[in-house]
């Protein structure tokens, strides 16, 4: 980094232009570090922010254009023959090609943000003979967003170079974990959105799985008893079975976590180590981000959301849904307070806390209430939306938000991992019961109208 700063101090914008351009062409140079360092020098008054951004974007776009035409005209043999001097191996090129095959034109944009792919992006686009118009669109967008973001990161974090390096080092694993969750959810969403038949098949196979089938057979009389009393028809066996199984699984998880808490099992001992790690690696930027995320699961946000959705349902005279919604919002809050009072687990304690909470810790109220409330919203969305992709998107969007809220509680040092998991488990029990009940009543009334 010091060497790069020295070069930038002497040659300024030329280093930015050619350093980024050569990296984008396929030469393994630290283009991202050059832009970060240039942002630091802008903050210190040695370079002009506008010129730095212009030359950074220009280097990224022009470099990618060169790489594209090298790959297009030279082909794979040419790239592998000469690319070995730039550490481009057949294995690395094959992985990059697989990434581009999966993501198409978007891969040009996405590759810009991954150092392992940035060197290969334009070359692979050229080798695959991607349409130049498509390439230049994603190339320009990716180059502009990437260069501007990295430069501004150096600018805003650049009161001193040591501080930038310190924050980047401390935040790396936390950022990697958050990024892994985001990417994981996105990939899972993409897969689920295009594999409806396979998911349905797995669900049917699960219900036919011998242990599950034996449970359904064993308790068939009880299930029929529930159906007779909750609905006038005999058509809800599947819904009741799935709902009861989900509730039972969540209840089993909560019971296991509660037992671990009382007996001091390994997950509880791991709690403190994880909280200490997250607290030690906190940064102002991440803290601000997670304070915003955690606010989405606060009692104020839940109550506000509860009132708005309740008013909408009442205005539409959706009384069954309104009852389920009110039970979700109020019931999760009351149940959480009862459970906290029962276990009376103290909060994590730090000498310099990021956030102060005074109530008990187990289970996490934010995790439990967000699971129930946003899960109920996802259920409403599934009923309202027509396309499978939109329904899957609603479910995964709600799930991602709930996971981020839970992680924010650990990052901010106000909950342990077992608190959050127990909140999800308790929320799962309540949400499963609510959806099963609403579906039972709703379908029962629909069947009554059909027969009448």
DSSP output for 237-268? HHHHHHHHHHHHHHHHHHHHHHHHHHHT-HHH
Tell which wins on pLDDT, 245 or 237: 245
- Asked if residue 171 is part of any domain, the answer here is no
How confident is the prediction for the chain on average, in pLDDT?
72
Considering only 58-62, 284-288, 306-310, 326-330, which range has the smallest mean pLDDT?
Answer: 284-288
- Is the pLDDT at 229 greater than 50? The verdict is no
- Is the pLDDT at 405 greater than 80? The verdict is yes
Residues 79 and 218 reside in one and the same domain: no
What's the average model confidence in pLDDT over 218-229?
55
- Asked if residue 71 is part of any domain, the answer here is yes
Residues 192 and 152 reside in one and the same domain: no
Per-residue pLDDT at 17: 81
Tell which wins on pLDDT, 97 or 348: 348
Residues 437 and 393 reside in one and the same domain: yes
Residues 282 and 326 reside in one and the same domain: yes
278: domain range? 188-451
pLDDT classification of 48: cutoffs 50, 70, 90: confident
The conformation of residue 351, written as its DSSP 8-state character, comes to S
Residues 128 and 214 reside in one and the same domain: no
The tokens for 311 are: 């008013």
What's the average model confidence in pLDDT over 95-100?
62
- Asked if residue 134 is part of any domain, the answer here is yes
With vertex at residue 253, the alpha carbon angle to CA 345 and CA 344, rounded to the nearest 5 degrees, is: 10
- Asked if residue 344 is part of any domain, the answer here is yes
Per-residue pLDDT at 1: 44
pLDDT classification of 223: cutoffs 50, 70, 90: low
- Asked if residue 401 is part of any domain, the answer here is yes
- Asked if residue 408 is part of any domain, the answer here is yes
Give pLDDT tens digits for 415-426.
Answer: 888 888 888 888
- Is the pLDDT at 241 greater than 60? The verdict is no
Tell which wins on pLDDT, 232 or 78: 78
Residues 390 and 446 reside in one and the same domain: yes
CA distance 107 to 139: 10
With vertex at residue 234, the alpha carbon angle to CA 232 and CA 238, rounded to the nearest 5 degrees, is: 125
Tokens 């949400």 correspond to 431
Tokens 């802008």 correspond to 42
What CA–CA distances, in Å, run from 316 to 267, 307, 321, 444? 46, 14, 10, 20
Where does a domain end: 122, 138, 159?
159
- Is the pLDDT at 438 greater than 60? The verdict is yes
Where does a domain end: 120, 140, 159?
159
The tokens for 359 are: 């109530």
Per-residue pLDDT at 311: 92
Tell which wins on pLDDT, 224 or 337: 337
Residues 301 and 339 reside in one and the same domain: yes
Highest mean pLDDT: which range of 2-6, 163-167, 346-350, 446-450: 346-350
pLDDT classification of 177: cutoffs 50, 70, 90: low
Residues 258 and 125 reside in one and the same domain: no
Considering only 216-220, 316-320, 346-350, which range has the smallest mean pLDDT?
Answer: 216-220
Tell which wins on pLDDT, 413 or 194: 413
Per-residue pLDDT at 152: 79
Which of 129, 137, 138, 139 is CA-nearest to residue 69?
129
Q: How many domains does the chain have?
A: 2
Per-residue pLDDT at 184: 63
The conformation of residue 348, written as its DSSP 8-state character, comes to P
- Is the pLDDT at 160 greater than 50? The verdict is no
Residues 342 and 223 reside in one and the same domain: yes
- Is the pLDDT at 393 greater than 80? The verdict is no
DSSP letter for each residue of 151-162? HHHHHHTTTSHH
Per-residue pLDDT at 373: 92
Per-residue pLDDT at 165: 46
Kindly state the helix (H) or strand (E) to which residue 315 belongs, with its residue range. helix 299-315
- Asked if residue 169 is part of any domain, the answer here is no
The tokens for 183 are: 């990417």
Per-residue pLDDT at 170: 47
Residues 155 and 198 reside in one and the same domain: no
- Asked if residue 165 is part of any domain, the answer here is no
Would you call 30 helix, strand, or coil by DSSP?
coil
Residues 219 and 116 reside in one and the same domain: no
Tell which wins on pLDDT, 127 or 76: 127
What's the average model confidence in pLDDT over 152-164?
60
- Is the pLDDT at 213 greater than 80? The verdict is no
Residues 295 and 384 reside in one and the same domain: yes
- Is the pLDDT at 322 greater than 50? The verdict is yes
Where does a domain end: 138, 159, 180?
159
């Amino acid at each position: 980094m010091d060497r790069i700063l020295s070069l930038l101090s002497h040659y300024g914008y030329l280093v930015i232009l050619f350093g980024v351009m050569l990296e984008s062409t396929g030469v393994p140079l630290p283009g991202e570090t050059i832009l970060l360092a240039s942002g630091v020098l802008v903050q210190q008054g040695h370079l002009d922010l506008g010129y730095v951004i212009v030359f950074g974007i220009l280097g990224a776009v022009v470099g990618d254009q060169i790489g594209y035409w090298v790959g297009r005209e030279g082909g794979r043999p040419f790239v592998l023959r000469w690319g070995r001097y730039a550490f481009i191996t057949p294995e690395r090129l094959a992985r990059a090609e697989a990434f581009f095959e999966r993501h198409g034109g978007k891969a040009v944009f996405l590759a810009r943000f991954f150092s392992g792919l940035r060197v290969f992006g334009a070359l692979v686009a050229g080798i695959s003979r991607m349409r130049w118009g498509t390439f230049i669109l994603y190339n320009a967008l990716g180059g502009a967003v990437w260069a501007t973001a990295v430069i501004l990161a150096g600018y805003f974090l650049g009161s001193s170079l040591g501080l930038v390096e310190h924050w980047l080092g401390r935040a790396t694993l936390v950022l990697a974990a958050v990024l892994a969750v985001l990417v994981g959810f996105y990939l899972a969403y993409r897969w689920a959105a295009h594999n409806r038949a396979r998911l349905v098949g797995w669900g049917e196979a699960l219900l036919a799985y011998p242990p599950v089938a034996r449970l359904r057979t064993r308790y068939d009389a009880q299930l029929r008893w529930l159906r007779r009393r909750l609905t006038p028809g005999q058509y809800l066996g599947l819904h009741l079975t799935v709902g009861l199984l989900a509730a039972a699984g969540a209840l089993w998880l909560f019971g296991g976590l509660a037992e671990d808490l009382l007996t001091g099992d390994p997950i509880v001992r791991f709690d403190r180590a994880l909280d200490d790690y997250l607290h030690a690696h906190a940064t102002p930027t991440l803290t601000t981000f997670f304070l915003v995320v955690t606010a989405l699961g606060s009692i104020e946000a839940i109550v506000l959301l509860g009132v708005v959705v309740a008013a909408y349902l009442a205005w539409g005279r959706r009384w069954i849904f309104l009852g389920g919604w009110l039970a979700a919002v109020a019931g999760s809050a009351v149940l959480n307070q009862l459970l906290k009072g029962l276990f009376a687990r103290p909060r994590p304690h730090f000498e310099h806390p990021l956030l102060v909470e005074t109530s008990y810790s187990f289970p996490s109220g934010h995790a439990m209430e967000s699971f129930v409330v946003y899960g109920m919203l996802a259920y409403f969305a599934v009923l309202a939306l027509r396309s499978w992709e939109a329904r899957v998107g609603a479910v995964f969007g709600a799930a991602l938000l709930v996971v981020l809220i839970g992680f924010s509680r650990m990052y901010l040092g106000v909950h342990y991992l077992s608190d959050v998991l127990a909140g999800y488990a308790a929320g799962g029990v309540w949400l499963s019961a609510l959806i099963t009940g609403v579906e039972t009543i709703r379908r029962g009334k629909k069947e009554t109208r059909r027969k009448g």
